[in-house]
A and B are shown apart, each in its own frame.
Chain A
Amino acid sequence: MNRRELFRRAIAGTVGAAAGSLLPPGGARAAALEPKRFPDGYDASKDLARPDWKPVFLDEHQNQTLIALSDLIIPETDTPGAKRALVNRFIDRLLEAETTETKRSFLASLAFVDGACIERYRAPFVDLPVETQVGFLKFIAYPHSYVTWGDNRSEFAGHAHFRNLKGWISRTYYGSEAGQKELGWTGNVFHGDFEGCTHPDKTHN
């Protein structure tokens, strides 16, 4: 998150609490501080690829639903895609450590998908044929407008849940090694220079 985004959030009131109100009434506690070091070769992503991996937060059905969703939202193309990048496993790890509010928000979106599918197709999302899954996602992937029928509703709950789930999947995928490589990351961190604009003045287009 950049500073501008923090400003935006601060203005929206989401990070605006005074420090005093965040602290226990009995005052502060102290904890020993040690330098936090990452040993050579440290790579916490390797643990996600363990053959005996099991979800620690999601149940098996939720995990399978998440895998199916992530595979459709960021599929394997010329690059690996979210399923192969084990996006579900990282999300499970992060959710396990997250706040109750964040956990609830994620599970509510996952539950919406299943609830809406059961209502429409009499089956949970993961049990639907792929064509039906894709059709359902198209229904919730875009904002809905009712303006032409004189209705002022501007927010469609399904789209908000889709954006929530897509945000988790997209952030996780593009933050993974596979996602980073797809975006061009090579591991080279020593660049000779930043070239900047090389056009003659007034010819940047």
Chain B
Amino acid sequence: MPQDPLAVTYDAVVVGSGATGGWAAKKLSEAGLKVALLEAGRNVSAEEFTEHMPAYKLEYRNLSPEVVRTRPVQKMCYACMEYNYDWFVDDLENPYSTPEGKPFTWQRLRIVGGRTLVWGRQSYRLSDLDFKAASDDGHGDDWPFSYRDLSPYYDLVERYVGISGTAEGNDALPDGQFLPPMKMTCGEKLLRERVKTKFGRTVTIGRTAILTRAHNGRAACHYCGPCERGCSTFSYFSSPFTTVADALRTGNCKLMTDAVVRHVDMDPRTNRARGVTCVDRNTRRTYQVSGRAVILCAQALESTRILLNSRNAEHAAGLGNSSGLLGRFLMDHAVGAGASGELSGIDFKKSAGDPNRPNGIYIIRFRNVKGGPRSARFIRGYGFQGGAAPNFNFEAEGFGAAYKAAVRGGVYGIRLSGFGESLARMDNFVEIDPALQDAWGIPALRIQMTHGPNEAAMMEDAAVAAAEMLEAAGARNIVLNSKLAMPGMAIHEVGTARMGSDPRKSVLDPYNQTHDVKNLFVMDGACFVSSGCQNPTLTMMALTARACDRLIERFKKNEM
């Protein structure tokens, strides 16, 4: 008779099955540890992927008002659509609050794989320009390790995930273990050449977690395009079909779906975590899962919410909060600024039947870098994501046969969008809203974040820099946008349980263990000390792998 999974004391209880939870489950179960992998949502199957389904077959051709009605926050993300909106949380069931005039958009998925099912897949390393930024400009704190410490874990993750890209030899964006790069369009090569010649800046192809050749049992990308609706050939990295699958294959990992974690259970005698209390998403039944170690990988804000909701007599301000900094230093990249235009003189014929490259270009940070000029208006820096390609000209004037011809004739568009560092600030934070609960009776978050004058100045600079680079490429009809989008729009939220060597100034130690509870860990983006300007998921996965190696050592030494 199979053992009741709830009667087992696991070596590790991992909360969350996305990018970091998948890695934690894989690393620990492959090391022989018994793992319970908890996911608040349902399981996912490749049979529900719709990347090859044309929109005209949908009832509302991907314009369904139901998506906006039930997911007014989630719909702000381009990836939440009529095809897949049930992967995203229902905003009516999963509320959070924000102060008047300080909106924050929080994108969440509750399903095995979490946001790896729909992520943008851009994968960039941070460098010591980021890890040691505070030493350079005096704002905030350094990370408690250097690039050299994390580099082997970047290697490990990249080799497993499969990151396509080009090595550029630029210290601000370290090279990695790359699969062959995707190819640039004519407009992008033109931009790369002109920008290098005129400004000395580097335009490179996006480094993306999409395979350009068969890799680790997964097929190469077939360029159908809409990865956010799933990938039947598993060419883009998503945890259910890689790390989680590996973990389950060991026989050491038990996946528990529909497990909405309410709080961490503590043993007050030993000051150790005993496991977690969950609410079954469907039945509302409350139950406990026990473990020798508890690892939160629920996504930065969700993990911090669990810790805040785990307050008890001994930890009255929330678990792991002796520093008073739990919830503080919320960051999300500054976005919204950039420029777009049109390129002329390039021969093209646009067709909806053409291969659709699910990737763009990246311009490596060039402001406030070592050896470069300093900006007088802001510290840190930004990179650009963008692309140049033919588009159909749906905005053509007029009507009739001429309009149809103009649509097909198309325009060769080019665009650059800035992604800037979001400074770590005490006054950007999350806390529990005493008056708001989710559909399972779990207290919800109140999120308070604004971008400051540094981010505003940075984005203004990014807009001008984008325009000057488009000018250099010969673009016309340039439109510039210099305003900041609301926090959360980058969907790169990090911080709120930052790591550090000093327990008075941080929540986690340098290996993601809470300073206050020796068998409690947060191994997701909550641990970030600063945001850099690079997409954070690759770094989160590398940090998880590193923290798990340390944890495995401790298990081997019987320290757990």
**A residues lining the B interface (CB < 8 Å):** 1-8, 10-11, 15-20, 22-24, 27-38, 42-45, 72-75, 77, 79, 90, 93-94, 97-99, 102, 134, 137, 141-142, 166, 170-172, 174-177, 180, 182-197, 199, 201-202, 204-205
Contact = CB atoms under 8 A, between A and B. Distances in A.
A158 to B, nearest CB: 13
Interface in B20-76: 41-42, 44-45, 47-48, 50-66, 68, 72-73, 75-76
Interface string B483-501: 1111001000000000000
B175 interface: no
Contact of B223 (A79, A177, A191): A191
Contacts, number: 244
Contacts of B394: 170-171, 174
Contacts of B222: 189-192
A10 B489 contact: yes
A10 B76 contact: yes
A95 to B, nearest CB: 10
A42 B486 contact: no
B57 A45 contact: yes
Contacts of B86: 33-36
- Chain B interface size band reads 35 or more
Contacts of A77: 401, 404
Given A37-B48, A191-B223, A166 B352 contact: no
Interface in B479-523: 481, 483-486, 489
B77 interface: yes
27 contacts: A1-B78, A4-B338, A7-B489, A11-B336, A16-B103, A19-B73, A19-B95, A19-B98, A20-B95, A28-B93, A28-B439, A29-B92, A33-B281, A34-B86, A72-B400, A99-B65, A170-B394, A180-B56, A182-B408, A183-B351, A184-B350, A184-B354, A185-B352, A191-B224, A197-B185, A199-B186, A201-B189
Interface of B: 41-42, 44-45, 47-48, 50-66, 68, 72-73, 75-78, 86, 90-100, 102-106, 182-190, 193, 222-224, 281-282, 284, 335-336, 338, 340, 345-346, 350-357, 392, 394, 397-401, 403-404, 407-408, 415, 417, 436-440, 444, 481, 483-486, 489
Contacts of A31: 90, 93
A38 B293 CA distance: 40
Nearest to A165: B399
A30 B439 contact: yes
A197 B347 CA distance: 11
Given A2-B78, A182-B408, A191-B223, A18 B98 contact: yes
A44 B58 contact: yes
A30 B355 contact: no
Given A10-B489, A45-B57, A3 B78 contact: yes
Contacts of A38: 48, 50, 53, 57
B164 to A, nearest CB: 11
Contact of A90 (B61, B90, B436): B61
A69 B542 CA distance: 57
A73 B103 contact: no
Given A6-B78, A141-B399, A97 B184 contact: no
Nearest to B400: A75
A75 B401 contact: yes
Contact of B63 (A20, A24, A94): A94
A204 B65 contact: no
Nearest to A82: B404
Contacts of A93: 59-60
A175 B408 contact: no
B353 A186 contact: yes
A20 B436 contact: yes
Contacts of B187: 204
B65 A197 contact: no
Contacts of B59: 44, 93
B355 A177 contact: no
A23 B52 CA distance: 34
B223 A19 contact: no
Contact of B408 (A3, A42, A183, A190): A183
A201 B189 CA distance: 8
Nearest to B101: A18
A79 B404 CA distance: 9
Contacts of B104: 18-19
A177 B44 CA distance: 29
Nearest to B223: A191
A17 B185 CA distance: 38
A36 to B, nearest CB: 4
Contact of A18 (B103, B353, B356, B398): B103
Contacts of A137: 399
Contacts of B50: 38
